Amino acid sequence: MYISEHEVRAALTYESLIPAIRQALIDHTAGLINQPPRVILRTSNQQGPRLGWFAVMPVVAGDVMAVKTVTFFPANAAQGLPTHMAMIELLSSLTGEPLAVMDGRLITEMRTAAVSAVALQALAPRAVRSLGILGSGVQARSHIQALRLVCPTLGDIRIWSRDPAHAQSLAAETGARAVAIQEAAAADVVLTVTASPVPVLQGRWLAPHARVLAVGAVGAQLRELDDQAMQGAWLVAESRQDVQRESGDVLLSGAKVEAEIGEILSGKAAVPAGRPIVFKSVGMAIEDLVAARLVWQARQNKPNSN
């Protein structure tokens, strides 16, 4: 069974995905998921801005297993192509039988935003009224949709981008405001979704109660947050092992991971008051698996599905 992106879009909703991701993050911290580190291969036949990478992400969870292959080529944006593209194969862990192969681009987009939505629910100390976004691409758009769903009090969305025209376009599309970076960074919640190799968010701009969702710049030599933002905050990881291996924000700042989000969701760790909180995510295969399983189950329940 092959499931196209069009069919994924029709089957997958944040209403079903966000609670599934929440349970997956709890299960991951509890050691119930068999998920080895992803393998990342850098392309060697291209140089400069066209340089990209290819990753393989396997995982086994309960009665299903999956492998995602994903590519990231930043220069694709200038050609009108997605910067991330992916395929996911879903299999039975009981028999090894392939269940479905599906396009993974939209799944990657949605599960990333769903992880941030789960984290915000767990980390927000009070009603969230303002969201500042650094970046104006696909992830900025998907996060607006997911975060609005879990934070109905969210009314002031501020967007900054290195391309002001992109920020203005996304703001007009979503009912947000295009602003200077300092105003975006002063919001209750700050989302970083850039591909910047150097810090764009400075800790001195953050409010004392800020919650930072650091999503972009995945790579040991890439970072979006400066030392003050990282070292002055209480750091929560999607996966302690993964961010300590793959996040330049963590590695280059020397910041200490205080807890995994699964520990907070399960009540094994508590969020301190009176200081900014940074949540760093790099993406995990279990998130792709639970999203792919929801899509596959929806297809199984569809009349006349094959």
Cα dihedral 107, 60, 215, 2 in deg (nearest 10)? -20
Residue 218 has a pLDDT of 82
Coil vs helix vs strand at 171 = helix
Residue 106 has a pLDDT of 97
Residue 44 has a pLDDT of 63
C-beta separation of 208 from 274 below 8 A = yes
Residue 37 has a pLDDT of 93
Q: List, for residues 66-114, the tens digit of each pLDDT value.
A: 999 999 887 888 888 888 899 999 999 999 999 999 999 999 999 999 9
What six digits make up the tokens of 127?
């009603």
Residue 74 has a pLDDT of 79
Cα dihedral 115, 85, 225, 44 in deg (nearest 10)? 140
Residue 103 has a pLDDT of 97
pTM, two decimal places: 0.94
Residue 45 has a pLDDT of 57
Q: Which domains does the chain have, with CATH numbers?
A: 2-107+286-300 (3.30.1780.10), 125-283 (3.40.50.720)
Q: List, for residues 213-253, the tens digit of each pLDDT value.
A: 999 988 888 899 999 999 999 999 999 999 999 999 999 99
- Please name the amino acid found at residue 278: V
- Residues sharing a CB contact under 8 Å with residue 47, sequence separation 6 or more, in sequence order: none
C-beta separation of 196 from 214 below 8 A = no
Residue 9 has a pLDDT of 97
Give me the residues of the chain with pLDDT under 70, please: 44-50, 303-306
